Amino acid sequence: MNIHEYQAKALLRDYGAPVSDGRVVLKAEDAKTAAGELDGPLWVVKAQIHAGGRGKGSFKEASAGEKGGVRLTKSVEEAAEETARMLGRTLVTHQSGPAGKQVNRVYIEDGSGIETELYLALLVDRQTSRVSFVCSTEGGMDIEEVAANTPEKILSFAVDPATGYQGFHGRRIAFNLGLKGAQVKQCVKLMGQLYQLFMDKDMEMLEINPLIVTDSGDLKCLDAKMGFDGNAVYRHADIAALRDETEEDPKELEASKYDLNYIALDGEIGCMVNGAGLAMATMDIIKLFGAEPANFLDVGGGATTEKVTEAFKIITSDKQVKGILVNIFGGIMRCDVIAEGVIAAVKEVGLEVPLVVRLEGTNVEKGKEIIANSGLNVIAAENLRDGAEKIVKAVKG
């Protein structure tokens, strides 16, 4: 689960980390009051969307010379004007996808004078199964680009969970970033605060890009991006309350209500599968036969008829879906329950695209019989390969 920059900065502030004062604005008429509460003489107006690269992004239907989603202004009036100009419009960045994201919230922040821009992140390193720090002197840039072109400029190391964060971790980062004097102390303290926050809130990712040295020589978090482990959010009511459902794919949101593991993709073949591994294999084999999956969907081991029906509804609501492949291995799951679920769903939502069903495992004969006797136009498949071949053929001709 992701949150907005202004929410992430409030968390940083709670932990004592240095951030600028700022106000979030949802309605243009509130902008002037909000900006007036800040000191100036520089006001930064920042579009709040769950995607990075806002500064270099561009608005749809932008006027000539119009800048992206981060703007420096020099008065309360100008800050209010820029806020009004951003609200309600769609911002496209290299992380938002071509459709972009609608800006429903704008953050007005006290502007900082920048001496240097640095990069800092904490993340869960799956290779070492530990929390890692990543830092670089190349701040404000796309870190993927730095990693590709000048990997030597990135320092990354894991923290041993037995010791937790120690001062030497912070000093290592400080020296790598070329910090001097009091900045080293600030860095050691800040890294400890970030590590504590990361652990306390079960984060997956915390990125400060840029972390800056201000013109008065102090460290400050100028941007903040946070991702939380979705499986742990139930432990943090404060984090759950920060969820902005308008930022999420509506199909994924619907799926999460029914505890379905669903991720929307760009292809044309909808998949309904039980088990994440089988779902991955199904996506692979669809690609092998020359088509693209429209989604990843794992209905889970103990799916009920209701759950299968909901899954089916979500798949058919996707206008890009030109065919559906149901691929079920009945281990814990019984094939007859799946067959009944599929039929109930088709009866409820209708079926306008070809449907291939491959069943295997517990009660497979019963499942096949239910489908064969349903009178529905369902193409039966013998195995995974046969299923993939049949659905691709049905869609592509």
Provide the minimum distance between the beta carbon of 222 and ligand GDP in the complex, in angstroms, as a whole number: 5
Q: Which of 82, 207, 247, 360 is catalytic?
A: 207
Q: Which of 5, 6, 107, 119 is catalytic?
A: 119
Q: Is 332 annotated as a binding residue?
A: yes
State the maximum Cα–Cα separation within the chain, in Å, rounded to a whole number: 79
Bridging pattern class, strands 43-48 and 105-110: antiparallel
Nearer to Mn ion, 123 or 281 (CB): 123
CB-based contacts of 150: which residues, under 8 Å, 6+ apart?
A: 138
Window contacting ligand GDP (CB under 6 A); options: 49-57, 252-260, 281-289, 364-372: 49-57
52 binds ligand GDP (CB under 6 A): yes
Nearer to Mn ion, 48 or 209 (CB): 209
Window contacting ligand GDP (CB under 6 A); options: 51-59, 75-83, 179-187, 321-329: 51-59
Bridging pattern class, strands 323-330 and 355-361: parallel
Burial of residue 35 (CB within 10 Å: 0-12, 13-18, 19+) is buried
53 binds ligand GDP (CB under 6 A): yes
What is the total count of residues that contact ligand GDP (CB under 6 A)?
A: 16
Element (H, E) at 161: none
CB-based contacts of 228: which residues, under 8 Å, 6+ apart?
A: 1, 2, 3, 201, 202, 203, 204, 236, 239
Alpha helices in 39-126 (DSSP H): 76-86
Q: Is 109 annotated as a binding residue?
A: yes
Provide the minimum distance between the beta carbon of 323 and ligand GDP in the complex, in angstroms, as a whole number: 38
Nearer to Mn ion, 56 or 393 (CB): 56
Q: Is 239 annotated as a binding residue?
A: no
Nearer to ligand GDP, 112 or 176 (CB): 112
Mutual orientation of helices 167-176 and 182-200 as an angle, nearest 10°?
120
Nearer to ligand GDP, 112 or 136 (CB): 112
Angle at 199 (CA atoms; ends 194, 205), nearest 5 degrees: 70
Please choose which of Mn ion, ligand GDP, none residue 53 contacts, taking the beta carbon within 5 to 8 angstroms, the exact cut-off set by kind. Answer: ligand GDP
According to CB under 6 A, which residues from 120 to 179 bind ligand GDP?
140
- In degrees rounded to 5, what are phi and psi of residue 180? -130, 155
Which residue of 48, 176, 209, 274 would you call a contact of Mn ion, by CB under 5 A?
Answer: 209
Residue 353: count of CB within 10 angstroms of its CB: 16
Provide the minimum distance between the beta carbon of 12 and ligand GDP in the complex, in angstroms, as a whole number: 13
165 carries an active-site annotation: no
Cis? peptide before 41, omega within 30° of 0:
yes
244 binds ligand GDP (CB under 6 A): no
CB-based contacts of 383: which residues, under 8 Å, 6+ apart?
A: 358, 360
119 carries an active-site annotation: yes
Q: Interface mask (CB under 6 A) for ligand GDP, residues 68-107, using x and -?
A: --x-x-----------------------------------
Which residue of 210, 293, 323, 387 would you call a contact of ligand GDP, by CB under 6 A?
Answer: 210
Quick one: CA torsion of 134, 140, 143, 149, rounded to 10 degrees? Answer: -120
Which residue of 48, 73, 83, 112 would you call a contact of ligand GDP, by CB under 6 A?
Answer: 112
Q: Is 54 annotated as a binding residue?
A: yes
- Taking a C-beta distance cutoff of 8 angstroms, is the pair 108, 79 a contact? yes
Ranked by CB distance to ligand GDP, the top (closest) residue is 55
Q: Is 68 annotated as a binding residue?
A: no
Q: Is 178 annotated as a binding residue?
A: no
- In degrees rounded to 5, what are phi and psi of residue 71? -130, 135
**Amino acid, res. 319:** K
Among 187, 183, 199, 241, residue whose Cα is nearest residue 1? 241
Extract the annotated binding site: 46, 53-55, 109, 112, 117, 209, 223, 274, 331-333
Residues that constitute the known binding site for substrate: 274, 331-333
Residues within the interface to Mn ion (CB under 5 A): 209, 223
Active site residues: 119, 207
| Residues at the site binding ligand GDP, with contacts judged by CB under 6 A | 44, 52-55, 70, 72, 111-112, 114, 117, 140, 209-210, 222-223
